[in-house]
Amino acid sequence: MPLDFKAKIIQIPDWPNPGITCFDTSSVLADPLYFKQAIEELARPYLEQKIDLMVGIEARGFLVASVLAYRLGSGVVMIRKKGKLPRETIAQEYSYEYASNIIEINADAVKPGQRVVLIDDILATGGTMSAAVKLVNRLGGEIVGISFVVKMDFMAGEERLKGQKIYSLVNYA
């Protein structure tokens, strides 16, 4: 019997700001059965492909990217908020539902031609992921796909990721 991931994801109204609903995926990560199945489902599109790097976006993206990298035999790279990486970085500004921010990646993290999958827990407006795509493209990486635990179709984040292959475990219409 397939697992009901939507039933496991906790929706928290008015967090982090009034009018915003948080879709908390930590309950999926905390349950061994759900976590294992989530990784298997998220790995499926890439099983027959050569993937050099999983690029995880701070912070839950790190967790999923690390396990997917292990599962697929690739390396793992982090994209973090500004000021969190100690070596030379490149940066990209972005905006989302209620704020703007800057993310960074180590300047030598992705080599030209490396086949990359970007990972984050949630696709909402697409601001963070579109900035991550720009960073990987600037370093010359070839983006094979972008994966999310949750994709909020009603937020239209895919519009900012046109031309990318997008995979998700759960969709909210």
| Parent domain of 144 | 49-172
Share of the chain above pLDDT 90, in %: 92
Name the catalytic one among 40, 93, 97, 142: 97
Q: What is the pLDDT of residues 44-75, one digit of tens each?
A: 999 999 999 999 999 999 999 999 999 999 99
In the DSSP assignment, the letter for residue 70 is H
Query: Which residues are CB-contacts of 30 (< 8 A; sequence separation ≥ 6)?
Result: none
In a domain, 73, yes or no: yes
Give domain status of residue 21, yes or no.
Answer: no
155 domain-assigned: yes
For residue 24, being part of any structural domain is answered with no
| Ramachandran region, residue 153 (left: φ > 0; alpha: ψ -120 to 50; beta: rest) | alpha
| pLDDT on residue 39 | 98
Tell me what the mean pLDDT of segment 128-155 comes to. 97
The answer to whether residue 87 is domain-embedded is yes
Q: Give the full edge-to-edge strand order of the sheet including 53-57.
A: 89-96, 99-106, 75-81, 53-57, 115-123, 142-152, 166-172
Which amino acid makes up residue 158? E
**Which residue type is seen at 37?**
Q
pTM of the entire predicted model: 0.95
Token look-up 């099983």 returns 47
Catalytic annotation on 71? no
Query: How many structural domains is the chain composed of?
Result: 1
pLDDT in tens, 16-52: 889 889 999 999 999 999 999 999 999 999 999 999 9
Indicate whether 95 pLDDT > 90: no
Annotated active-site residue 44? The verdict is: no
Q: Is 128 part of any domain?
A: yes
How high does pLDDT run on average in the chain?
96
What's the pLDDT score for residue 75? 98
Whole-angstrom Cα Rg for the chain = 15
Residue whose entry in the numeric block shows the structure tokens 């061994």: 32
The pLDDT of residue 166 is 98
Q: Which helix (H) or strand (E) holds 149?
A: strand 142-152
The CATH number that applies at residue 168 is 3.40.50.2020
| H helix runs in the chain, sequence order | 5-8, 26-30, 32-43, 60-72, 127-138
Q: Is residue 28 part of a domain?
A: no
Give the pLDDT of residue 97: 72
Q: Is residue 32 a part of any domain in this protein? A: no
Average pLDDT over residues 110-114: 98
- Residue 96: pLDDT band (50, 70, 90) is confident
